[in-house]
Amino acid sequence: MFIDKGPPTRADAAGPEVATDKGIVRGMWENGLAVFRGIPYAKAPVGALRFAAPVQRDPWSGVRETTEFGPPPPQPMRITSSDEWLTVNVWTPDLRTSTLPVMVWIYGGAFTIGSSDQPEFDGAGLAAQGIVVVSLNYRVGVEGFMQIEGAPSNRGLLDQIAALQWVSNNIPGFGGDPDNVTVFGQSAGAASIGMLLVAPGAAGLFHRGIAESVPASLFGRDLAADIATVIAGELGCRPTVAELAATSPAALVTATAHVARAVTQYQGRWGYDVVVRGSVFGPVIDGAVLPDSPWRALAGGMGRDVALVIGHNSAEYNLAIALAGGPGQVTVAEANRALRLLPPVADGAQAYRAAYPQAGHAELYGLVCSDFVYRMPSLHLAQSHAGGGGTTHLYEFRFDASPLGAAHTTEIPLVFGTLTSPVGAQFYGSPPSLAAVGVSAEIISAWGSFATNGDPGWPAYDPVNQLARVFDTQSTVARYPEQASQEIWTRYPFDPFPLQHR
């Protein structure tokens, strides 16, 4: 239940208070919104709970101050002294109701990095549309996704489910309707939404989903186990709870980073797919947390009661290329290797050159990697969901005003309306262009409308017309633009990455 009735009339008035199922929390007023940061939704996963499924937090007495974000889960460059990793944050425009739509953000980061405290994820812009916005932290890297003997698989997904259960139990006190919850996420967060759609533990905890840039992300259990053996071996251990429990999170982060930097050395063992994807972690089909691949299960009808918006950016892999030194660093040999190994057709290089006759080797490299890692997994997930009887709205983000073009992550400041954040300014200038402001307003309106009533403002996808929203300076509704790539990848199943050999 809520306690405070509205914003203070004096600058020094106490912050808003809400009674959760574990105790009272006090947040703060920010521009007419009640904001709560760092509310724990589970016990700290350390000590006896290290590498375990999340456990409910014990109740507390008195009022807990929730004005600062909780610490990020262990990851490179973000190690903290606090172990309270599993927290949620809430932005709400009205504590006097329990009927507002709810949007729950799941961050990306290749299942290796990420946290909810990034400025570009500020929920105020969306909350100002009359929506209760929630963001959450979940375990990444070794803590959340490494295969460890004696520990449950997919611990990061279990964290997400626990956070969604917290939302179901507590969001009415923050103004939200627990029967109108939309999860939205980008990259690994978007892949997580696909996994949650088929995870038994998440059933009924959300009602719509928005998946931005869904990556190919499933790891075979044999591959995940071999990667775990290599990472633990960096520390002279085996990947078991008994041997890793005494190892600090920081040491495991360092070992992971060392292996990730040397991933090309393992190409013959782990496959070129892992090298291109750029991550050594991902969910696995374990038969419990995740019983099947979303691409397969959705086609069979799972998740059809959950309406979806699914899409991708037009130049996804530009980000990875930029981080590797830019298009000028892409060699002909590297492009030819990608064109030979990635496309699921007999002569992939010829197929791409015929489909994109004007493209040079660097552009072809970006296209085939974009297709394999993000564009085609997103399209195929939408097709699977629609084919299984679900309502799916497809989009492509083509607004290329950032220095990277319409690359991976460049839509995020537009989705949140955080154009003045450091990332927003890096992509769209300071002040941002009128075009960027306009596209941002359009996406916020579409996402908010979908979360409110299930209609983002354009027709649902069907296999005949294949209509999609194309977000750009002048947005349109048109046939899905990437027909050439779609033809090449039409029968690819996006099964888990296998172990090549030991």
DSSP 72: P
Please give the Cα distance from 101 to 174 (Å, whole number).
Answer: 11
- Return the amino acid letter for 322: A
- As a whole number of angstroms, the distance between CA 147 and CA 153 comes to 6
Mention every residue, 6+ apart, whose C-beta is less than 8 A from residue 338.
Answer: 272, 276, 365, 368, 369
Prior bond of 16 cis (ω within 30°): no
What is the gyration radius of the CA atoms in the chain, in angstroms?
22
How would you classify residue 494: left for phi > 0, otherwise alpha for psi between -120 and 50, otherwise beta? Answer: left
The pair of three-digit structure tokens given for residue 401, joined into one six-digit string = 């005003």
Nearest partner of 282 among 107, 376, 157, 184, judged by Cα: 157
- CB contact set of 317 (below 8 Å; sequence gap of 6+): 365, 366, 367, 369, 370, 373, 374, 407, 408
Q: Is the dihedral of CA 268, 269, 273, 275 positive or negative?
A: negative
CB of 77 within 8 A of CB of 146? no
Cα torsion angle, 188, 193, 197, 201, sign: positive
Helix ranges (H only) for 234-374 are 241-244, 249-261, 267-270, 272-277, 294-299, 318-323, 332-341, 348-355, 361-370
Give the whole-angstrom CA distance, residue 323 versus residue 333. Answer: 19
Cite the active site residues: 187, 316, 408
DSSP letter (8 states) at residue 67 = B
Q: Following DSSP, what letter does each residue of 280-304 receive, concatenated?
A: S------SSS--S-HHHHHHTTTTT
